[in-house]
Amino acid sequence: MRAIMVTRFGAPDVLEPVELPTPEPGRGEIRVAVGVVNVVWMDARIRAGKGPAVFAVAPPYVPGSGVAGTVDAIGDDVDEGWLGATVVTRAGEAYGGGYADTVVGRPETSFPLPAGMDLRSAMAVMDDGSTALGLLEVTPVRAAERVLVAPGVGGLGNLLVQLLVRTGATVIAAVRGADKLSAARALGVAAVDYSAAGWSDAVRSITGGHGLDVVFDGVGGSVGVAAANLLVDGGRFSGYGMSSGSEAALSGTDRRVRVLGMSQLPGLWTDGPRRVRHVLDETAAGRLAPIIGRTYPLGAAAEAHADIEARRFIGKSLLLV
């Protein structure tokens, strides 16, 4: 089978196309002929040797986890109804194995696609959509509250923005660059460029000087800190990423705000299957429309990582097999 191997920790060029033996499903497993591979910012962090301990791997390894495709073989003790099913699933039980044209997974972590749903949309919402839903369950938002999402048109951020719009909140997408401003406004929300001087003042202007009730931060660093400083007393800060390279340093704040950092994310995994099924159904029904910015052939995984690290993307990035 064709796969991408991380031969050593380092820059994107350590991602190398390789040929590996095609796996056979064992007892209780299914094999999937992959059509679409999920690519996330954390893949790039892990490849660079900067991933968190929960994703501990050592080279050589095949990166990634989430894939979408068709079940082409099953192991013993697996219902024959899985054969031929179009699914999203995870390669194995731990991180790794997803950047390949064939993966072995398990029925309990596999989800048949609703009728008529395409693989790309399904892959775009499996992880990011279910996480966005989980973030909103942990930090609920009420109608008329003022909410900032940074980054507002990332793979997760654009779905979070769409879910927030449905609450009746005033939603502001913080993005970087003119193209992303346009993409955010196309979602029907206000947008600010956090790379521009005075962006915090622009947020205050949008809120009529009130400030923010909630911040969902996937950027971290100084952007996350600046966003937190816009919160009113009693506001809520939900950190879910650190594309800047570090989480927002908020531990020293003495303001009366509730802060949840990235440590909240593992707690969302337990109820993940329910959320995956929900966002798949919402997307199939047209109530969620993931932004898919750029796709790459499997062999161009290094280019995809380089673009992610340089923030040269809008919405979701995917590998196509």
One DSSP character per residue, 255-300 reads: SS-EEE-GGGTHHHHTTHHHHHHHHHHHHHTTS----EEEEEEGGG
pLDDT at 254: 54
Q: Are residues 158 and 110 in the same domain?
A: no
Q: Are residues 82 and 147 in the same domain?
A: no
* Alpha-carbon separation of residue 153 from 128, 179, 182, 236 (angstroms): 12, 10, 10, 21
| CATH assignment at residue 236 | 3.40.50.720
Average pLDDT over residues 279-305: 96
* 67, part of any domain: yes
The DSSP output letter for 12 is: G
Q: Cα separation of 15 and 302, whole Å?
A: 6
50-105 pLDDT, tens digit per residue, is 887 777 899 999 999 999 999 999 999 999 999 999 999 999 888 999 999 999 99
Count how many domains the chain has.
Answer: 2
* 109, part of any domain: yes
Report the candidate in 276, 297, 280 with the shortest Cα–Cα distance to residue 288. 280
SS3 assignment, position 174: strand
pTM here is 0.93
* 71, part of any domain: yes
Q: Are residues 53 and 171 in the same domain?
A: no
Max intra-chain CA distance, the chain: 63
* 279, part of any domain: no
HSE of 316, CA atoms in CB hemisphere, 13 A: 26
Q: Is the pLDDT of residue 49 over 60?
A: yes
Q: Cα separation of 235 and 146, whole Å?
A: 10
Q: Are residues 168 and 136 in the same domain?
A: yes
Q: Cα separation of 280 and 88, whole Å?
A: 10
Range(s) of the domain holding residue 107:
2-117+291-320
* 246, part of any domain: yes
Q: Are residues 197 and 69 in the same domain?
A: no
Q: Cα separation of 69 and 20, whole Å?
A: 19
Q: Are residues 113 and 131 in the same domain?
A: no
CB 135 within 8 A of CB 160: yes
Pairing of strands 316-320, 292-297: parallel
pLDDT at 230: 95
pLDDT at 71: 98
Q: Are residues 110 and 141 in the same domain?
A: no
* 82, part of any domain: yes
Q: Are residues 131 and 108 in the same domain?
A: no
pLDDT at 148: 98
223-275 pLDDT, tens digit per residue, is 999 999 999 999 999 999 888 878 888 865 556 889 998 889 888 888 899 99
Q: Are residues 65 and 150 in the same domain?
A: no
Q: What percent of the chain has pLDDT over 90?
A: 85
DSSP string, 185-228: HHTTSEEEETTSTTHHHHHHHHTTT--EEEEEESS-HHHHHHHH
* 276, part of any domain: no
Q: How many CB atoms lie within 10 A of CB 118?
A: 16
Q: Are residues 194 and 297 in the same domain?
A: no
Average pLDDT over residues 154-163: 97
Pairing of strands 316-320, 30-38: antiparallel
